[in-house]
Structure 1
Amino acid sequence: MTYFTAFFLDNEKDIIVSLYKDLDRMLYVLSTPNHGTGNLIRNLAAIVRLPLSHDENGMLVIRGEVPCFIDAQNHESYIFSLGDIEVARIYPDARVEMKAAIPAISKTLMSQTKDYRLGLDKTVFKTFVKKELKFRADLHTHMNGNLTGDMLIALGICHQIRYPLYYVKKLELQLTEEQWIRVNAQRSKVAKQFITSELTGKYLDRKINDNTYINFADLILNNLGNAEMNIVKIRGSLAVIKDGQAVFTNLEKVYLYRYVFCKGKESDEKIRLHNVDQIPDEDVKRYLKQMLIDRENPDYCNNTIFQDKLLWIARYYKRQGVCYAEISDTTLVKKYESIEMLRQVHEVMPRIYQETGVMIRFLAAMRRIPLTIIKDAVTPADYLEQNLAVLKATALDPYVAGCDFVGEEINDISTLRPVFKELVKIAKEDPSFVIRVHAGENDSYKDNILGSIQCVRDFLAPGQQMPRMRLGHGLYTYSLRSLKGKEVLKMLKENNVVLEFQITSNVRLNNLNSLDKHPLRQYLKQGIKCVQGSDGAALYGTNSIDEELSLERMLELSEKDLRLMKETEESIIEYSRAAYSTKKAAYTEMLGERDMEEVLLEKMQTVKISRGNTKSVPRFDANRELKEEIEELAWDRFPVILLGGSFNTEKRATRVTQEGIKQMKELMKFLDPEEVFFVIGHKLSGYEKYLLDNNKKGFKIYSVVPAAVTAKEIDRLKNSGVKIRVSTETEGMGIYKSFNYEIFERRPSMVVAFDGNSAAANLIQEAKNGKGKAAILVWSRSKTLQQKARSLQGYVEFFDEEKGIVEQIRKIQREFGEKEK
């Protein structure tokens, strides 16, 4: 048998079908090399009832034969099927015609568990949508999440971007000997610039490696022997993790990898772009060839990286049948960067629209909380005031459709009321201005959907109509049958608010663990306007068609449901196109003969937001206030993380039960304080309080606290006797990230979860994903954590009165001992 061709069953190229041919016979090998746990291929094999075997590297694969068929015209084709679904038709000339695929949402759910429960109909989808029901807008997406990894890699080669040595080492990319000599010589020069730096050890190494670069085109084109594996690794770094669900921290890290390409800077020393035909990845090669052709096109020959990015976003949308998109971007609230961005948009967008017919507009995005993942970034205290000053100017541009609040939803939206006051003023001057809020994405703040609407309504001027408002995600609020839920429905209807749904990102970011709880059908039944978005499709391995099919299949939407969403989308597209034309005329008149930069800088007037009657409890620097209590986690003992008090929503307290106390007593009696220590959150409530009050054996207890704490919290922590670890996150709902950094990525551990909301679910997911193996035990009486635990079947043990916690720990110990043998 000789190799014939290959194709992929998913957008991220994770499920590979390699074909081998000998005379009339065609055999296939289905593999999932990017998924190390084996869950994906095991679950897929079980669904389609095919046997597993091992390849020469010991990886699980599915092998079989592809039958050959002859049609009425005596033409031969081979038909590859999974179960009774025709997936691909393969022709003798090696053309592959895809008929069905596995969407990212199903792939994630299969990767997440050892016991996948969905059937074939919700795993392999026919890739067809009725023309009259096809969605043609992407109304919820993000600037640097739209292009696939292959497109970004091609863009990096074409523009010969600087690729940091840090990522070369982090991804374990292979360079030629000559490339290593050159990059190490450059590193030596860079290191001299940091001789006086206060950084030491790995922090200094990171800084030097971040500022040492290799020309990305050189890395690929002059290193073809390693190009195939390097491309696979780089592609993998540009999407969220493969083996199961991710959390927001993972998303932030992926954005850092993407920024290298999306915000890339060209290398000083260029190479000749040769060997293009020898690039081993067909898609990267195809995109790069078109980019080189574009360089001969007078419309695009002088494109910047950003302009090429817009061009390829539009081309990608055109391929999916999308004609209108609104993309969130934080650049539009930065003073000089926003002007440069808009200048480039005005320069290239008319030509892009002429080619593709796709209209791209933007939402100026403000962060609901400061970004913490970039360690050296310093966010000024008045960053929102600075954002608003810029927005007052950029909102005048016809390509700016409105604004957006972005970032992880770990704070109460009402804390941003003063900002809404200024946004409502902008909307008064421009009735087409969209106010979009990420709200209801997780269950931390169930008031945020209603609160977002009230924040706008409360600041309407006399006679002012409600601005055009959309809420992104809208998954979590109070039960729509409850009094509060009915109030939410009433406010949504009365104020013509549109809800945006992105099912794949919800699943892949650990915000949706049970599809039968999704509220979309309920909203549509109640007459609420709903649309689909992608949330930055390439981040999650999806696209517009996959998203629509996922909504339809996974949530069992009817044609009537899809038609209602389609009608809402069409009305938004029609209104938005008209608004663009109106704003363009006004903008042209406003500029007159003056330069855009001069006019917009003039319009960026200082904004002072008044807190008014907004109640705000002063918070203090935890590192300073608790410096005497701060201590490194012990390395001579085993960490036990207790969830049962700190990881709830702010308005929900953990109810301590007698049954739960019994389990705590057994746990504390079983564990040895010389062998283990406990790690808890910052509230010291619920089962955390029980641990502190009954610590007669003298367990060492650490509390992870947010970077900003109240005076009450300071006193409580100081009087408790706990040792302190300070998170980089200022919000209590975000401290789960520090457990991952300090424990799950570094060492084995055990999680004992009695209670919690999304923050607890994220911590459990981080424990499962971490490099250090974590035993995870969940109290079966916790309704809020059951869905998360069940989605991790095979990685979580439940405990209760019947299956006591000590019994379950011993079971885990036995299983671990058997694996060690």
Structure 2
Amino acid sequence: MTYFTCFFLDNEKDIIVSLYKDLDKLFYILSTPNHHSGNLIRNLARTFKLPLSEDANNMLIIKGEVPCYIDGSNEESYIFSLGDTEVARIYPDGSVNVVATMPAIAKTLMSQSKEYSLEKDKIIFKTFINKDLKFRSDLHTHMNGNLPADVLIALGIYHQIRYPLYYVKKLDLKLTDEQWERVNAQREKVARQFVYSDLKGKYLDRKINDRTFINFADLILNNLDNAELNIVKIRGSLSVIKDGQAVFTNLEKVYLYRYVFTKGEESEDKIDIGDVSQIPDEDVKKTLRRMLRDKENPDYCNNTVFQDKLLWIARNYKRYGIKYAEISDTTLVKKYESLEMLRQVHDVMPKIYKETGVMIRFLAAMRRIPLTIIKDAVTPADYLAQNLEVLKATALDPYVAGCDFVGEEINDIITLKPAFKEIVKIAAKDPSFVIRVHAGENDSQKDNIAHSISCVKDSLAPGQKMPYMRLGHGLYTYSPRSAKGKAVLKQLKENGVVLEFQLTSNVRLNNLNSLDKHPIRAYLKQGIKCVQGTDGAALYGTNSIDEELSLQKLLDLSEEDMLLMKRSEEEVIERSEKAFFEKSDRYNALLDGRDMEEVLLEKMKAVKIGKKLAKTGGLDAYTELKEHVSEITWDCTPVVLLGGSFNTEKRATRVTPEGKAQLDALIKHFSPEEICFVIGHKLSGYEKYLVDHNKKGFKIYAVVPAVISKAERDKLIAAGVSIRVSPEAQGMGIYKSFNYEIFERRPSMVVAFDGNSAAANLIQEAKNGKGKAQILVWGRSKTLHQKALSLKGYVNLFDEIVPIGSYLKDWDIFLDARRNMPKE
């Protein structure tokens, strides 16, 4: 057999169908090389009753023949199908017409479970949308999550960006001997700058490697023997994890990989790009060739990396039939960076609009909590006041449609109410100004939808009209049958609030585990305006067409439902396009021939938003508890107990006699020489029961947020537990520290009795971690039961019928092996 061609069943190129010819016969090999657990291909084979085999590298594959058909014109074509769905037609000249694909949602759920169950027509479906129902906007997306990995890689080559040695090593990229020689010589020079640094060991290595660079064009073009494998690894780093759902920590890490390209700096040592025909990836090569042609176009020949990013975002939108987008970006609330961004936008966007017909505007994004993943970043206490100072000026620009509150939803938006007072003042001067809040994305803050609306309404001046308001995600609030739920529906409808839904990101970020629980049908039935966004499509392996098809087919939306969404979208587009031209006239009159930077700097006035927002509202945990801080011992295996600290603020864990009996059995089974316990900071629920009944003297560690209350401090000290302080200031964010300190470093057990989204995230982190984790979930926990079911084969449910003791035998075997390991 000879290789013929290939195609992909998904947007991320994870499911490859390679085609081989033998005379007039065509055969296929389906493989999933980026999914190492094997779950995806096993579930695919089981669902469609296809035989599994192994290739020479012991990787699972599916093999078969593609039948040949003759149509009414006596033309031959080969038709590849899965079940009753025609997926692709392959023609004798090697061209392939793919007509059905797998949505990223189905791929994710199939990847993380050993027993995936969903109807065949929701795994693979035809990529056709009724023209009258086709969405034409992306109203919820983020600047650095838009572009597909192949475009970013081409962009990196074209602009010859600096690629850090840290990522070369992290991704295990292959360099030539000559490239290693040059990059190591540069590293030696960089290392000299840190001779007197206080950093030691891996922290010093990381700092040096972060500041040592290779020209990305050189890495790819002068290393063609390794280019194919390197491109696959780089592509994988630019989207969220493959084998299952991610959590917010993973998303933040992906953004760091993307920043290398989206905020790229050009290398000082340029190479001659020359002939690119040897690049092994066809999509990267095709995109790079278009970029090289743009170099001859006077409209684009001097584009910066940022301007080319905008150009390719618009081209990508045009490809999928989008004509209007609002992109959220934090740059617009940074004093001097915002001015440079807007200068570049005004220079290139008219040309981009002329070519593509796509109008791009922006939402100035403010973080609801400071970013903690960038360790060197220092966030000033008054960062929101500084953001608002800049927003008062940038909001005048016609390309700025409004503002946004972004970041992981682990705090009550009501704490930021003083900031809304300043935002509402901006809206009073600009009636088209949009106030968008990320709210209801997870179940940790069910008041956030209602509180977002009240933050705006309560800030209105007498007689001021309610500004245009949109809420991103809107998945979780109170039951519509409850008094609170009915009040929320009333507020949404009366105030014309628009809800934005991003189904793929909800699933891939572990915020939605059951599709039948999605509330969009209930909202549409109540007359609530709903629209679609992508949340940064490329991060999640989707696009606007894939997203619309997923909404319609996976949530069983009717044509009437889709039409209601289409009408809501059209209202927003029409209003926003009109606002752009009206704001442009006002903006030009404001400038009156003066330089934009001069005018906007004058408009940046200091903002005072009250002591309530400036204060942290708590004590520094490390300072208050430093005498009790201790590293988790390596002599014992940690057992993470969830049942008190990982609920929403207003929800307490109910400790039942049945649950206590299970915890008693766990305590009785182990000895303090074998295990230690790790809990959260609240010391409530089952955590409190453990502390109060620790007669055997187990070592107990409490992971606490960076900011705690006096009552929490006193309770922790009185309990006599050891302390680990998380860099996260919010209690709902400390699950990240469990991942770093335990799941990524060592074997462990998780026993989960109760919890909301933070507990679900911790469970997902345990499943994704490098260390072996046995995960046990209390079967009576309604909030965690669905999460457990989504991880079949990785999580076990326990209750009175199947007690916890029945799962401890395997762990005993592990502990026995550990006991018999030779001592160092």
- Short-chain TM bin: over 0.9
- Give how far 1:675 is off: 0.8
Moved more, 751-760 or 267-276: 267-276
Answer yes or no: is 1:278 the counterpart of 2:278.
Answer: yes
Counterpart mapping for 1:128-277 below 5 A: 128-277=128-277
CA contact (8 A) 1:435 1:467 kept: yes
The residue type paired with residue 493 of structure 2 is: K
CA contact (8 A) 2:142 2:328 kept: yes
In structure 2, what is the equivalent of residue 770 of structure 1? 769
In structure 2, what is the equivalent of residue 102 of structure 1? 102
Answer yes or no: is 1:427 the counterpart of 2:427.
Answer: yes
- Give how far 1:563 is off: 0.1
Cα separation, 1, equivalents of 2:303 and 2:593? 25
CA contact (8 A) 1:221 1:274 kept: no
In structure 1, what is the equivalent of residue 780 of structure 2? 781
In structure 1, what is the equivalent of residue 417 of structure 2? 417
Q: Residues 814, 44 of structure 1: CA spacing in aligned structure 2 closer, same or farther, 3 A cutoff? A: farther
In structure 1, what is the equivalent of residue 90 of structure 2? 90
In structure 2, what is the equivalent of residue 36 of structure 1? 36
TM-score, normalised by the number of residues in structure 1: 0.99
In structure 1, what is the equivalent of residue 407 of structure 2? 407
Cα separation, 2, equivalents of 1:213 and 1:617? 39
SS at match of 1:278: coil
The residue type paired with residue 359 of structure 1 is: M
In structure 1, what is the equivalent of residue 582 of structure 2? 582
Answer yes or no: is 1:810 the counterpart of 2:815.
Answer: no
In structure 1, what is the equivalent of residue 703 of structure 2? 704
Cα deviation code 1:389-436 (max 9, x no counterpart) = 000000000000000000000000100000000010000000100000
- Give how far 1:615 is off: 12
Cα separation, 2, equivalents of 1:86 and 1:114? 26
- Give how far 1:817 is off: 10
Cα separation, 2, equivalents of 1:333 and 1:25? 60
The residue type paired with residue 147 of structure 1 is: L
In structure 1, what is the equivalent of residue 14 of structure 2? 14
Q: Residues 527, 44 of structure 1: CA spacing in aligned structure 2 closer, same or farther, 3 A cutoff? A: same
Answer yes or no: is 1:551 the counterpart of 2:562.
Answer: no
CA contact (8 A) 1:418 1:611 kept: no
Aligned-residue CA RMSD (Å)? 1.3
Cα deviation code 1:357-383 (max 9, x no counterpart) = 000000000000000000000000000
The residue type paired with residue 109 of structure 2 is: L
Cα separation, 2, equivalents of 1:472 and 1:812? 43
Q: Residues 805, 531 of structure 1: CA spacing in aligned structure 2 closer, same or farther, 3 A cutoff? A: same
- Give how far 1:618 is off: 3.1
- Give how far 1:275 is off: 3.8
Q: Residues 761, 11 of structure 1: CA spacing in aligned structure 2 closer, same or farther, 3 A cutoff? A: same
In structure 1, what is the equivalent of residue 755 of structure 2? 756
- Give how far 1:617 is off: 7.7
Cα deviation code 1:289-319 (max 9, x no counterpart) = 0000000000000000000000000000000
- Give how far 1:582 is off: 0.3
CA contact (8 A) 2:644 2:686 kept: yes
Counterpart mapping for 1:69-88 below 5 A: 69-88=69-88
In structure 2, what is the equivalent of residue 495 of structure 1? 495
Answer yes or no: is 1:691 the counterpart of 2:674.
Answer: no
In structure 1, what is the equivalent of residue 634 of structure 2? 635
Counterpart mapping for 1:332-351 below 5 A: 332-351=332-351
Cα separation, 1, equivalents of 2:249 and 2:808? 29
SS at match of 1:628: helix
Answer yes or no: is 1:539 the counterpart of 2:539.
Answer: yes
- Give how far 1:441 is off: 0.1
Q: Residues 615, 483 of structure 1: CA spacing in aligned structure 2 closer, same or farther, 3 A cutoff? A: farther
CA contact (8 A) 2:643 2:684 kept: yes
The residue type paired with residue 505 of structure 1 is: S
Counterpart mapping for 1:421-820 below 5 A: 421-611=421-611, 618-810=617-809
Moved more, 366-375 or 712-721: 712-721
Answer yes or no: is 1:384 the counterpart of 2:381.
Answer: no
The residue type paired with residue 655 of structure 1 is: R
- Give how far 1:535 is off: 0.1
SS at match of 2:626: coil
The residue type paired with residue 467 of structure 1 is: P
CA contact (8 A) 2:138 2:533 kept: yes
CA contact (8 A) 2:753 2:777 kept: yes
Moved more, 66-75 or 546-555: 66-75
Moved more, 294-303 or 72-81: 72-81
- Give how far 1:455 is off: 0.4
- Give how far 1:70 is off: 1.3
Cα separation, 2, equivalents of 1:463 and 1:582? 23
Cα separation, 1, equivalents of 2:456 and 2:83? 51
The residue type paired with residue 234 of structure 1 is: I
The residue type paired with residue 42 of structure 1 is: R
SS at match of 1:63: strand
Cα deviation code 1:531-580 (max 9, x no counterpart) = 00000000000000000000011110000000000000001000000000
- Give how far 1:803 is off: 1.0
The residue type paired with residue 710 of structure 1 is: S
CA contact (8 A) 2:674 2:815 kept: no
SS at match of 1:196: coil
Return 5+ residue gaps in structure 2 as ranges: none
CA contact (8 A) 1:531 1:566 kept: yes
CA contact (8 A) 1:77 1:90 kept: yes
The residue type paired with residue 649 of structure 2 is: E
Percent identity of paired positions between Structure 1 and Structure 2:
75
Cα separation, 2, equivalents of 1:690 and 1:463? 54
Cα separation, 2, equivalents of 1:546 and 1:201? 46
Cα deviation code 1:306-355 (max 9, x no counterpart) = 00000000000000000000000000000000000000000000000000
In structure 2, what is the equivalent of residue 292 of structure 1? 292
Q: Residues 616, 204 of structure 1: CA spacing in aligned structure 2 closer, same or farther, 3 A cutoff? A: closer
- Give how far 1:814 is off: 6.6
The residue type paired with residue 671 of structure 2 is: D
Cα separation, 2, equivalents of 1:138 and 1:611? 37
The residue type paired with residue 483 of structure 1 is: A
Cα deviation code 1:52-83 (max 9, x no counterpart) = 00001000000000111111222111111111
Q: Residues 426, 639 of structure 1: CA spacing in aligned structure 2 closer, same or farther, 3 A cutoff? A: same
Cα deviation code 1:247-278 (max 9, x no counterpart) = 00000000000000000000001000034100
The residue type paired with residue 579 of structure 1 is: A
- Give how far 1:228 is off: 0.3
- Give how far 1:711 is off: 1.1
Cα separation, 2, equivalents of 1:704 and 1:55? 45
In structure 2, what is the equivalent of residue 54 of structure 1? 54
In structure 2, what is the equivalent of residue 64 of structure 1? 64
TM-score, normalised by the number of residues in structure 2: 0.98
Cα separation, 2, equivalents of 1:462 and 1:714? 43
CA contact (8 A) 1:702 1:722 kept: yes
- Give how far 1:611 is off: 4.4
In structure 2, what is the equivalent of residue 125 of structure 1? 125
Q: Residues 129, 552 of structure 1: CA spacing in aligned structure 2 closer, same or farther, 3 A cutoff? A: same
In structure 1, what is the equivalent of residue 395 of structure 2? 395
- Give how far 1:812 is off: 5.8
Cα separation, 2, equivalents of 1:574 and 1:305? 31
CA contact (8 A) 2:637 2:675 kept: yes
Q: Residues 815, 52 of structure 1: CA spacing in aligned structure 2 closer, same or farther, 3 A cutoff? A: farther
- Give how far 1:806 is off: 1.2
Cα deviation code 1:483-526 (max 9, x no counterpart) = 10000000000000000000000000000001110000000000
